[in-house]
Amino acid sequence: MSHPLRVAIAGLGTVGTGVVRLIETNRDMIAARAGRPVEIVAVTARDRSRQRPVDLDRYAWADDTLALAARPDVDVVVELIGGADGAALDLARAALTQGKGLVTANKAMVAHHGLDLAETAAASGAPFAFEAAVAGGIPVVKGLREGTAANALTRIYGILNGTSNFVLSEMERTGAEFGAMLAEAQAKGFAEADPSFDIDGVDAAHKLAILAAIGFGTRIDFAAVRTEGIARVRASDIAQADTLGYVVRLVGVAALEPAADSTSRLLQRVRPCLVPFRHPLAAVTGATNAVVAEGDFSGRLLFQGAGAGDRPTASAVVADLIEIARGQCGAPFSVPVSALAACPPADPGDRIGRDYIRFTVADRPGVLAEITAAMRDADVSIESLIQRGRAAEGEAVQVAMVTHEGPERCVAMALELLRDTPSLTEAPLVMPILSD
Amino acid sequence: MSHPLRVAIAGLGTVGTGVVRLIETNRDMIAARAGRPVEIVAVTARDRSRQRPVDLDRYAWADDTLALAARPDVDVVVELIGGADGAALDLARAALTQGKGLVTANKAMVAHHGLDLAETAAASGAPFAFEAAVAGGIPVVKGLREGTAANALTRIYGILNGTSNFVLSEMERTGAEFGAMLAEAQAKGFAEADPSFDIDGVDAAHKLAILAAIGFGTRIDFAAVRTEGIARVRASDIAQADTLGYVVRLVGVAALEPAADSTSRLLQRVRPCLVPFRHPLAAVTGATNAVVAEGDFSGRLLFQGAGAGDRPTASAVVADLIEIARGQCGAPFSVPVSALAACPPADPGDRIGRDYIRFTVADRPGVLAEITAAMRDADVSIESLIQRGRAAEGEAVQVAMVTHEGPERCVAMALELLRDTPSLTEAPLVMPILSD
């Protein structure tokens, strides 16, 4: 067996200690599969004195994070510090510039700086891999880079944030409201103290932008991802969706859409959606993630598993290390970064689809007529409409509808027509219906 | 861009012509992702004159299959002839011996001769890949070789035969019997004229043996797969399962089980099973395939998609070609074939689990007492029992039960006690309940 792959780990939180534990636990198996041992030589973290569930004494401790990347006895740096910029980015750049491999679980950094880092990697010939940055333990980066490599992909979509999915599926299971289920997620450790990146869809948007680049061969365009979180979804929306044959899921969708000039446009959105009961994503509950890739030859492929957690994420980090040890780590975005196409964002108004729209209305005569007139004037055709009387005096009344298939710009126009009416007591909630 | 990867295709049935069409359709994309063009240089099939949906005039035609492997202008041979032995195996051996890469969709050949072929490939340094041999377009071979490479896998299981799954899920949907739904599958082109390999579980067993070798690092042991098909499953079994909260699926299960002497035993079985409604495999209907891998760090990963068909299978074949063009094709079974362990088969009697057992009984006094006494004497604990009266005079009466968790040998013993009783009018049907 040849020389070991020598690894430095920066960041020793749950994922970092998970990686240490995994490399120690499955040492022989990893060596057999990688063709050579994978050995940790040095580690670092902000606070050396912190109690950790693994023994780090056998590894060199680096006080200076950047010094890790300069060590002559290190082949690959594993960056688990987190954050799009700052120490993580400095380390990533330093490692790649010096020809060290870089493995990271940092979706924010890859979404913001992945192209720059890939260019640096290409220039120095260093491997750069980030399986763990997307959907935790699910090997979907490899799935797109290798499994679907023969296909023109038309759409990539999925459940990319475990916290949001836990909250939505618990709302569905218990009938409770968002706030209570978010609190439960926090109590169970599924949600951060500040859960805004999860709940607002930003975390899912990071992952979606990365998947779109790999799957479509386009330059990462995180800024173009239109993102809407789950905080406005109510128990009554979920109940309504259920009677119509749907569940509510936070779905990231990336699609390459033909434009009039025969070029393509890239649609990237993260939104709560109505998912038909029979669709595989409807069965995805709890903190699980799932990604669907639709290829012109493969058809619909589904990759599902744990989207977060120390052990699944460590599994993805070490899979990258094994790939590097094997010498099989190719272009991080499947094609050389210089070959990625700059693809303009699609106008979501062009999208043809069906929507669920929930209005919260004042309980007075003529409201329904006003809403339906606006729909008519904007050319929105209504498939079904449900108005439920309020349960108690003073409670808001809800009107929910599902539209027939049509361009989204018509729905937007209808809502614009209703924007200033005193009949609506709050902004309507629009959730697209996931098409097959 | 460097020199092309030059490919010869042997076998021009639906998959072969699908591969030709895919390489032609996605030519530029494949070249970008592979780093060089993938070009067909020669083709062959049994009957040159047959009408085919692709134009083959631009490729050299080889009258002699083996001559394909000898051509100096061929880098990789794609074997799509089929059959475990004969022309397919001769070609595969000839190609690898002469240092040509081999890509195949031939599960029977890999299940029977995969180790020999891998040894030949290792000796000549030729790449050998068979993504398309398992679960059609689903990249599960790569998923196990790369995605889960950091994990000790404990169990690999899934729905590995689209025809059987189509028949079972159509029986479930329509309430019809096996024979009628098999005829429908044949009419729709999902089943061969001779469907025995699909229906009897042999096709699934081929795939399971291959997955087990990759996932567990054990030598392929197809002969040790215990296989039972779906022909004995009745509409009434499916209805009974439904009332108990299960669907019936043909599931292949491979598990590495600890033995008393601290070595391991390999359990490999293909059987119709009861799958709980909430399990992801329960949602897999029609000709879809799905594979679950359970790793010690990754947790449960699911790979799902089209298990057959010309286009999905071609997607997998060309993914292998791209991997070879990239120079990233590693050991076919994840570790060198010489490192695969010979693992004795597990005694299924040791398996602890729950079973569904259906008895077809004579309608006379004392039958239930006789059955329940045999269960008691064999230490089988009954969780629930349903006897339905016959619908019409002369019809068989069915008694269905679900056992509490216990060793399978006890169930086998109970059935042995009942073997010669005239109370049973046919052999009981036992279906294990898939555990979480």
| Gap between the Cα atoms of B284 and A399, Å rounded | 35
**Contact at 8 Å (CB) between B314 and A150?**
yes
Distance from the Cα of B394 to chain A's closest Cα (Å) equals 40
Task: Please tell me the distance from the alpha carbon of residue A153 to that of residue A139, in angstroms, as a whole number.
Answer: 17
For the segment A371-390, the average pLDDT, to the nearest whole number, is 91
Inspect the interface and report whether the beta carbons of B304 and A280 lie closer than 8 Å: yes
pLDDT bracket for residue B365 (50, 70, 90): confident
Mean pLDDT over B163-186 rounds to: 96
Over residues A286-327, the pLDDT tens digits come to 999 999 999 999 999 999 999 989 999 999 999 999 999 999
Q: In CATH, which of 3.30.360.10, 3.30.930.10, 3.40.718.10, 3.30.70.1350 is domain B140-306?
A: 3.30.360.10
Interval B379-384 mean pLDDT: 96
Using a CB-CB cut-off of 8 Å, the residues of chain A touching B33 are 149, 217, 334-335
Length of chain A: 436
- Nearest Cα to A147, choosing from A269, A266, A292, A265? A292
The whole-angstrom distance between B307's CA and the closest CA on chain A is 10
Residue A168 neighbours by CB under 8 Å, 6+ apart: A230, A233, A238, A247, A248, A249, A250, A272
Q: Is the pLDDT of residue B386 over 60?
A: yes
CATH 3.30.70.260 is held by the domain A349-432: yes
Which residue of chain B has the CA closest to A140?
Answer: B147
What pLDDT score does B375 carry? 97
Chain B residues in contact with A20 by the CB 8 A cut-off are none
Can you tell me whether residue B139 is helix, strand or coil? coil
Q: Which residues of B touch A326 (CB under 8 A)?
A: 330
Residues of chain B with C-beta less than 8 angstroms from the C-beta of A314: 150, 297
The per-residue pLDDT of chain B, averaged, comes to 95
Q: Which of A283, A314, A326 sits opposite B297 (nearest CB)?
A: A314
Give the pLDDT mean for B111-122: 98
Selecting from A146, A303, A322 the residue whose C-beta is nearest the C-beta of B150 gives A322
B138 contacts A142? CB cut-off 8 A: no
Interatomic CA distance for residues B281 and B382, integer angstroms: 26
What residues of A are annotated to the active site?
207
Kindly state the average pLDDT of the residues A350-365: 93
Smallest CA–CA distance, residue B381 to chain A, in Å, is 32
Q: Name the helix (H) or strand (E) containing B122.
A: helix B107-124
Domain ranges for chain B, please list them: 5-133, 140-306, 349-432
Q: CB A150 to CB B26 under 8 A?
A: yes
Average pLDDT over residues A118-137: 97
Query: Is A84 a residue whose pLDDT tops 80?
Result: yes
Identity of the residue in A32, A142, A322 whose CB atom sits nearest the CB atom of B142: A142
> Which chain A residue shows the shortest CA-CA distance from B321?
A150
When the pLDDT of each residue in chain A is averaged and rounded to a whole number, the result is 95
Q: What pLDDT shows up at residue B192?
A: 75
* Percent residues over pLDDT 90 in chain A: 91
pTM above 0.90, yes or no: yes
pLDDT greater than 80 at residue A21:
yes
Mutate which of A28, A33, A154, A321 to disrupt the B interface (most B C-beta within 10 Å)? Answer: A33
Whether pLDDT at B224 is above 90? yes
pLDDT given at position B380:
97
Beta pairing partners, B44: B10
Nearest-Cα residue of chain B relative to residue A297: B311
pLDDT at residue B418 in the model: 96
CB-based contact B309 A303, cutoff 8 Å: no
Q: What percent of chain A has pLDDT over 70?
A: 98
With tokens 């009697």, the residue in question is B349
For B20-49, how does the pLDDT look when each residue is reduced to its tens digit (9 = 90+)? 999 999 999 999 999 999 999 999 999 999
Work out whether the CA dihedral A396, A397, A401, A406 comes out positive or negative.
negative
Q: Name the residue facing A152 among B29, B139, B334 (closest C-beta).
A: B29
CATH of domain A5-133: 3.40.50.720
Residue A376: its pLDDT value, please? Answer: 97
pLDDT at A192 over 90: no
Which residues of B are known catalytic residues? 207
Q: What is the pLDDT of residue B363?
A: 82
Q: What is the structure's pLDDT at A436?
A: 79
Subunit contact B280:A217, Cβ cutoff 8 A: no
Q: Which residues of B touch A306 (CB under 8 A)?
A: 298-300
DSSP state of B396: P
CA–CA dist A164, B350 (Å, integer) = 42
The distance of B436 to chain A (nearest Cα, Å) reads: 14
CA B226 to CA A417: how far, in whole Å? 66
Q: Is A99 exposed, middle or buried (0-12, 13-18, 19+ CB in 10 A)?
A: middle
Cα–Cα distance measured from residue A376 to residue A366, given in angstroms and rounded to the nearest whole number: 15
Q: Do A315 and B339 touch (CB under 8 A)?
A: no
* Mean pLDDT on B294-309: 96
What is the nearest CA distance from A132 to chain B, expressed in angstroms?
11
What's chain B's length in residues? 436
Contacts of A139 in chain B (CB under 8 A): 143, 146-148, 301
Residue A271 has pLDDT above 90, yes or no: yes
**pLDDT beyond 70 at B391:** no
Using CB atoms, pick whichever of B139, B150, B328 lies closest to residue A319.
B150
Which of A32, A148, A315 faces B297 most closely, judged by CB atoms?
A315
Contacts of B147 in chain A (CB under 8 A): 131, 138-139, 142-143, 319
Task: Look at residue B396 in the predicted model and tell me its pLDDT.
Answer: 76
CA-to-CA separations, A427 to A330, A371, A389, A420, in angstroms, rounded: 47, 13, 19, 10
Least confident of A80-84, A388-392, B14-18, B268-272: A388-392
CA A367 to CA A423: how far, in whole Å? Answer: 6
* Interchain proximity B142–A147, CB inside 8 Å: yes
B336 pLDDT band (50/70/90 cuts)?
Answer: very high
What pLDDT is attached to residue B97? 98
Q: Return the bridge partners of B384, or none.
A: B402
> Is A319's CB within 8 Å of B26's CB?
no
CB-CB under 8 Å, B139 with A148: yes
Which tokens belong to B423?
Answer: 């109370």
Q: Order of strands across the sheet with B299-306?
A: A226-227, A264-276, A246-258, A153-159, A288-295, A299-306, B299-306, B288-295, B153-159, B246-258, B264-276, B226-227
Q: What is the pLDDT of residues A196-246, one digit of tens each?
A: 999 999 999 999 999 999 999 999 999 999 999 999 999 999 999 999 999
Contact A146 B323 (CB under 8 A): yes
Contact assignment for A304 to B309 by CB distance below 8 Å: no
Q: Which residues of A162-180 are buried (b: 16+ CB within 10 A; e: fewer)?
A: bbbbbbbbbbbeeebebee
The residue ranking higher by pLDDT, A436 or B138, is B138
Region class of A101: left (phi > 0), else alpha (psi between -120 and 50), else beta: beta
B298 vs A34, A35, A315: nearest CB: A315
Contact flag A143-B148 (C-beta cutoff 8 Å): no
Cβ-defined contact of B309 to A299 (cutoff 8 Å): yes
- The pair of structure tokens assigned to A335 is 């094609």
- What number of C-beta contacts closer than 8 Å exist between A and B? 197
Question: What is the distance in angstroms between the Cα of B299 and the nearest Cα belonging to chain A?
Answer: 7
- The ipTM of this complex is 0.96
A217: nearest CB among B32, B330, B335: B32
Q: Per the structure block, which two tokens stand in for B75?
A: 């880098």
Asked if residue A96 has pLDDT above 60, the reply is yes
Q: Check residues B366 and B131 and name the one with the higher pLDDT.
A: B131
To test the contact with chain A by mutation, choose from B40, B78, B144, B297 the residue with the greatest count of A C-beta atoms within 10 A, namely B297
Question: Which residue of B lies nearest to A216 if distances are taken between CA atoms?
Answer: B29
**How deeply is A51 buried, as exposed, middle or buried, from its count of CB atoms within 10 A (0-12, 13-18, 19+)?**
exposed
pLDDT attached to residue A391: 65
Query: Which pLDDT tens digit goes with each residue over A35-68?
Result: 999 999 999 999 999 999 999 999 999 999 999 9
Contact B296/A151, CB-based, under 8 Å? no
Mean pLDDT of A338-365: 94
Question: Cβ A147–B152 below 8 Å, yes or no?
Answer: no
- For residue B207, give how far its alpha carbon lies from the nearest alpha carbon of chain A (Å): 18
Which band of pLDDT confidence, cut at 50, 70 and 90, is reported for residue A363?
confident
Decide if A148 contacts A246 (C-beta within 8 A): no
Q: What is the pLDDT of residues B180-219, one digit of tens each?
A: 999 999 998 877 778 999 999 999 999 999 999 999 999 9
Residue of chain A minimizing CA distance to B316: A147
- What integer pLDDT is reported at residue A14 of this predicted model? 93
- Chain A hits for B169, CB-CB cut-off 8 Å, are none
